[in-house]
């Protein structure tokens, strides 16, 4: 599998996790049926697709990318869809998370390019 395909799978897993987390918010503590079903399906699919990427990407690196992009994407969903505002320290923290993932991916020998 090409590196581009592996990273596409990882991105798909992240998007599925973000959809599942959005459904978690919509489920109102798992009291609404369809959002609850959606979150279970999306989380299961996300972890399955993530597991496929672990054949190529080390688990620590995959999880760093997964969590960083997931945090940023769900923050955007929260901002746009749920009208949840982020203060300056939160934005700076998200920027640091993104910077950390970029450093690992661009400069670490742990990541095969």
| pLDDT 10s digits, 63-91 | 989 999 999 999 999 999 999 999 999 99
Question: Does the pLDDT value for residue 101 go beyond 90?
Answer: no
Calculate helix-pair angle for 33-53, 59-80, nearest 10 degrees: 150
* pLDDT above 70 as % of the chain: 97
- The count of other CB atoms within 10 Å of the CB of residue 52 is 16
Nearest-10 Cα torsion for 39, 56, 9, 1: -150
Please state, in angstroms and rounded to a whole number, the distance separating the CA atoms of residues 80 and 51. Answer: 30
Non-local CB neighbours of 18 within 8 Å, separated by 6+ positions: 70, 73, 74, 77
């Amino acid at each position: 599998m090409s590196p581009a395909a592996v990273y596409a799978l990882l991105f798909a897993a992240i998007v599925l996790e973000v959809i599942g987390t959005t459904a978690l918010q919509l489920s109102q503590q798992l009291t609404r049926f369809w959002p609850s079903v959606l979150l279970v399906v999306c989380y299961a699919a996300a972890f399955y697709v993530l597991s496929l990427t672990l054949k190529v990407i080390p688990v620590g690196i995959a999880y760093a990318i997964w969590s960083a992009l997931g945090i940023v994407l769900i923050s955007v969903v929260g901002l746009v869809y749920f009208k949840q505002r982020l203060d300056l320290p939160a934005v700076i923290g998200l920027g640091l998370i993104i910077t950390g993932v970029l450093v690992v991916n661009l400069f670490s020998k742990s990541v095969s390019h």
